[in-house]
Amino acid sequence: MERNFNKNELYPDCPIRNILNRISDKWTLLVLYTLNGHESMRFRDISAELPDISQKMLVLTLRTLETDGFVSRRVYAEVPPRVEYMLTARAHSLFPIINQLIQWAKDHMDEILLDRTKALSRKSGAS
């Protein structure tokens, strides 16, 4: 099970599109945000913090983040094996941008929700 390396057919040599696609999917930012503030986390702890993500999708997301150098994985030779995930320096360098995005969302959330409500009202009134 592995994520595709998506290339835009119109711009197949554009790595920026690929990187933005990878970090802006449904779970990546949430997993990164969950790991932030912890030195390391075990799989079950990440899963507990994100109860609506399936085990399969969490595994896939963590593998992708590891492949892209955002997360490192440490396996301890114990029985049962213990695995911990931690953010890399690359991931930490992304957090000022993530925090700005979160702040922007907080600043504009009420306006956006109001616009959505208005749009739904117009749509249901037109039916």
Long-range contacts, stretch 104-113, CB < 8 angstroms, 24+ apart = none
Locate the domains of the chain by residue range: 15-91
Lowest mean pLDDT: which of 7-21, 31-45, 60-74, 109-123? 7-21
CB atoms within 10 A of CB 64: 19
- Tell me what the mean pLDDT of segment 86-91 comes to: 97
Contact in structure between 34 and 49 (CB atoms under 8 Å): yes
pLDDT reading at 89 higher than 70:
yes
CATH 2.40.128.20 fits 15-91, yes or no: no
